[in-house]
Every structure is written in C-alpha cells, then in structure tokens.
C-alpha cells in the first residue's frame, strides 16, 4: 500500500503507544518488518516541548524512513504549527490522534473526545493537511460509545480533507481496550472510502492478521499490545501474509541477543536511572512471552542499576538458551 509518496513494503505496522513506542522500540520493530512505527503521542502545545520526555519523543536519530510522528490536540492552528515543526525535525508522515481513550487526554477534548465534534475534526484535518508537504494520516476509533458510532462519517471527512490513510481501532472510546474489536465496522468503512484503511485491534498472531485483512478488506493491520515483549511478531505476520506459512521460530539464542541489544539501546537513549526503569517493563513482557523462560523477574525488578540489571538478564538468558542447545 502507499501513504502519499511512500510505498510500504509490508502490511503490518506498529501502533503508537505512550510509554512503549520510544525510538529504541520503533527501530527494533522496523528491523523485524514493521512497515511503519509512529512515535509516541506528542502534544500540539509547543510550550511543553522543552521537557526531556517531549525532546526524546521527537528524536529520530538513526530511525529509518518513513518516520511517522503522532500529534494530539484540539486546536487546528496549534496542530498545524506542531506538524510544521515536526516535519522540520525529520518527520516524513504526520499522524493525528483521535483514538486515545485516556481520561487526561479526553478531558481536554483531545484524542477520541474529538469524535463528539465532527465540524472540529474537519477543521483540524484541513489545517494540518494544508500546513505540511508530507502525508497526513488519522488514527481513530469507531465512535464515542455504542450509541454514537460515527467513524464512517469521520472517514468521509478525512478523505475529503486530503488524509492519506486511515487507521481504525475497532472499539469505541467507551470500550477502552475491553471486549472484542468491531471488524464489521472497519469493513463498512473500507467499503465507503478510496483511501487506504488500516485495521487495528486484537491482531495478536499471523493467522489473526490474515483473518482480519480477509474479512475487513483492509490494506494493512496495525499491531499494538501483541508486540509487547515480542517485537519479532512483525516478521512472523509478514511471512504468513506473504506465504500463508508459519515462519520458523527464532532460536533461544537469537531472542536472547535481541533482548540484550534492546537493553543496551534503552540505557543509551534514556540514561542510567530512566533507562533502568523503562527496561523493567520490557523485561517483564519479554519474560512473560518466553516459553519456559528463566524465573528471574523478581531479581530484575529489584535491580537498581543498569550493570546489575543487564548482568542478571544475560546470566538468566544464557542459561535458558544453553538449556535448549543441550536438549
């Protein structure tokens, strides 16, 4: 599929997730075949960009193109200005967030709260599309709640505004992340517009990706929580979509090396204290996904510096990998 001038080589993308899709994780996901990996959500209020968190979210050093940046806000002019500045900083694609269900976002009429004001949606999309010379995409939900599903209207507004592609998370804002994704809604939206549609929600395996694309006729799928602790899922999904055959699983040694490399990149990106804290959640996800993985979670969560955390991880994963090699 194409997003503006960019021809994407695969049909699996990484969903932007606050606190997860930092630059180290995006680079890792892209290495394993994610066609696109948007940044964590960045506020459109440029006055808040001086914080370390915002500066890190706008850091694309070493990140492969196309580099996508997701923006959140409710003021058309502010979003347009934020988009222009991020393009100057290296963004190749601007994504507008109208899907985040978090209360702190919705309480200031951002994220999925925008679904309650269709005229404002139109003004925002028009402003951002005309502000930059790169493709603009939109990520949204099926509606505010089950009585107000208006994603089909939003899709038509997006297409008329010049949005280059549309990501639909198959849940309402009221659903947050519970229940099952509404693939029938995504299918009806795909039938109603000519721009690419990407299906998001509950895609957690290669077979599920195939089933969702076949049912919705979406151009691609976006994977979120299933990538936690398993960034190589994009490799497996893309292989299955291309051949309908499962790829050979990565060896234990290969997975060990990926995890250790990820730790190194987190320490380098965040520094000592924050790097250790961020690494804890990733290590917890990795250990939960490793079959017969080492029982070292408690030790890793207690480690207070990167040297100890890395050494404990390396020792535990070496024993785990050696066990398989000796079997």
Which residues are known catalytic residues?
100
| Nearest residue to 6 via CA among 117, 134, 114 | 134
Which residue's entry shows tokens 């109603």?
A: 192
* Under 8 Å between Cβ of 282 and 313: no
Which residue's entry shows tokens 């229940």?
A: 179
CB count in 10 Å sphere of residue 252? 20
* Under 8 Å between Cβ of 147 and 158: no
- Which residues, in sequence order, are CB contacts of 187 under 8 Å at separation 6+? 215, 216, 217, 218
Which residue's entry shows tokens 């949005």?
A: 163
* 3-class SS string, 248-299: CCCCHHHHHHHHHHHHHHHHHHHCHHHHHHHHHHHHHHHHHHCCCCCCCHHH
């Amino acid at each position: 599929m194409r997003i503006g001038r960019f021809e994407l080589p695969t049909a699996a993308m990484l969903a932007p997730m606050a606190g997860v899709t930092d630059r180290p994780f995006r680079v890792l996901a892209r290495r394993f075949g994610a066609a696109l990996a948007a940044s964590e959500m960045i506020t459109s209020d440029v006055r808040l960009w001086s914080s370390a968190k915002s500066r890190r979210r706008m850091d694309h050093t070493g990140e492969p193109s196309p580099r996508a940046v997701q923006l959140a806000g409710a003021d058309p002019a502010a979003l347009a200005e934020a988009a222009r500045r991020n393009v100057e900083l290296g963004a190749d694609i601007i994504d507008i967030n109208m899907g985040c269900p978090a209360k702190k976002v919705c309480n200031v009429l951002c994220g999925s709260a925008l679904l309650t004001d269709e005229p404002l949606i139109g003004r925002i999309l028009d402003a951002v599309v005309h502000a930059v010379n790169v493709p603009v995409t939109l990520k949204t939900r099926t509606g505010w709640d089950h009585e107000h599903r208006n994603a089909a209207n939003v899709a038509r507004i997006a297409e008329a505004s010049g949005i280059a592609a549309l990501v639909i998370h198959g849940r309402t804002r009221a659903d947050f992340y519970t229940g099952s994704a509404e693939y029938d809604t995504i299918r009806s939206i795909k039938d109603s517009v000519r721009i690419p549609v990407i299906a998001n929600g509950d895609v957690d395996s290669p077979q599920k990706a195939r089933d969702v694309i076949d049912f919705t006729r979406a151009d691609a799928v976006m994977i979120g929580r299933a990538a936690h602790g398993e960034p190589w899922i994009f490799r497996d999904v893309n292989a299955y979509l291309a051949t309908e055959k499962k790829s050979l699983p990565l060896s234990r040694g290969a997975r060990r090396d990926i995890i250790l490399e990820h730790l190194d990149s987190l320490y380098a990106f965040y520094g000592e204290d924050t790097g250790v804290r961020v690494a804890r959640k990733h290590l917890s996800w990795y250990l939960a996904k490793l079959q017969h993985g080492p029982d070292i979670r408690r030790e890793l969560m207690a480690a207070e510096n990167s040297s100890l955390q890395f050494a404990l991880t390396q020792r535990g994963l070496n024993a785990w990998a050696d066990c398989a090699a000796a079997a």
